[in-house]
């Protein structure tokens, strides 16, 4: 039983099958879902989550929560220590509490720093209602460690397919063809994905697009779907279909 629980926790290391949903009120994002994959032998009793995401409506005080999906058998007794690290340490993030509800592990965090990086007067809204130059990329790296283990074992090979829509006008971005995105066994965690747009899609500079990511196992079966937020903030006028995209994986750790 102990060995099974150990494997289940270890299997949670695959962070990119996560849902990073932006909360447009006062949270950085709503949830970070992790799903166990494959049977990986080992004795590591911890897992690491790593997320790189973007936020455009930063408020004066940042609060939020991570929703980690865990097996039903997972309990607080299995956790001795939780640490959440943020790449921008100047925001002074702290974990206020965590709890388990069914198959969800909730980790609550908060920051008391003002939104000094926000354009305009820092209230999280553009001045004079002008959104044209307000967009900016805000990057945050999040690592969660349980019982102090930082670098878990390697994962496997997975394939992603992308679809998406513009968050503002819900314009559907259709994929003429989907190009698989492969993570080989030497990449333990996905640090970033870069997608370049092509024909048939018009985006203003810095436009926000939400992509639904389908994870396929080695047999081509869909394991789970997730959303990932991307900015095309280097575009002056990006016209294209998101297909045959440039995608990159950076190894973490």
Q: What is the pLDDT of residues 148-173, one digit of tens each?
A: 443 332 222 222 333 333 334 433 33
Answer whether residue 213 shows pLDDT above 70.
Answer: no
The whole-number average pLDDT for the span 57-65 is 43
**What pLDDT score does 121 carry?**
47
More confident residue, 101 or 144: 101
Q: Is pLDDT larger for residue 89 or for residue 160?
A: 89
* Distance of alpha carbon 31 from alpha carbon 18, whole angstroms: 8
pLDDT in tens, 8-29: 444 443 333 333 333 333 333 3
pLDDT on residue 69: 56
Kindly report the pTM of this predicted structure. Answer: 0.31
Rounded-to-integer distance, Cα 23 and Cα 157, Å: 31
**Quick one: what percent of the chain has pLDDT higher than 90?**
0
What is the reported pLDDT for 101? 74
More confident site: 25 or 85: 85
C-alpha distances in Å from residue 148, one per residue of 12, 99, 111, 228: 15, 18, 23, 27
Q: Tokens 């994870």 appear where?
A: 215
Query: Higher model confidence: residue 85 or residue 14?
Result: 85
Domain residue ranges of the chain, discontinuous segments joined by +? 2-146, 158-239
Q: How far apart are CA 217 and CA 205, in angstroms?
A: 35
Range in 3-12, 39-48, 89-98 with the lowest mean pLDDT:
39-48
pLDDT tens sequence across 92-120:
556 667 777 776 666 666 554 444 444 44
Any residues with CB less than 8 A from the CB of 187 and at least 6 apart, and which?
154, 155, 249, 251
What's the mean pLDDT when you consider all of the chain? 42
The Cα 51–Cα 48 span in angstroms is 10
């Amino acid at each position: 039983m102990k060995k099974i629980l150990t494997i289940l926790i270890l299997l949670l290391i695959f962070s990119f099958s996560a849902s990073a949903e932006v909360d447009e009120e006062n949270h950085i994002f709503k949830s970070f879902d992790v799903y166990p994959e494959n049977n990986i032998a080992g004795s590591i009793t911890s897992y690491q989550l790593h997320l790189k995401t973007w936020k455009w409506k930063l408020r004066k005080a940042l609060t939020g929560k991570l929703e980690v999906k865990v097996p039903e058998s997972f309990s607080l007794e299995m956790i001795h220590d939780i640490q959440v690290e943020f790449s921008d340490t100047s925001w002074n993030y702290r974990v206020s509490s965590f709890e388990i509800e069914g198959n969800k592990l909730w980790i609550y965090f908060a920051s008391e720093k003002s939104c000094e990086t926000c354009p305009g007067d820092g209230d999280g809204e553009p001045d004079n209602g002008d959104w044209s130059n307000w967009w900016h990329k805000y990057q945050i790296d999040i690592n969660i460690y349980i019982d102090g283990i930082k670098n878990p074992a390697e994962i496997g090979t997975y394939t992603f397919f992308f679809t998406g829509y513009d968050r503002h006008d819900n314009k559907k971005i259709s994929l003429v063809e989907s190009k698989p995105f492969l993570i080989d066994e030497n990449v333990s965690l996905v640090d970033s994905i870069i997608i370049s747009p092509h024909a048939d899609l018009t985006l203003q500079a810095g436009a926000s697009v939400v992509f639904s990511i389908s994870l396929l196992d080695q047999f081509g079966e869909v394991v789970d779907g997730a959303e990932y937020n991307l900015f095309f903030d280097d575009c002056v006028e990006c016209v294209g279909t998101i297909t045959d995209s440039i995608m990159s994986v950076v190894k973490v750790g």
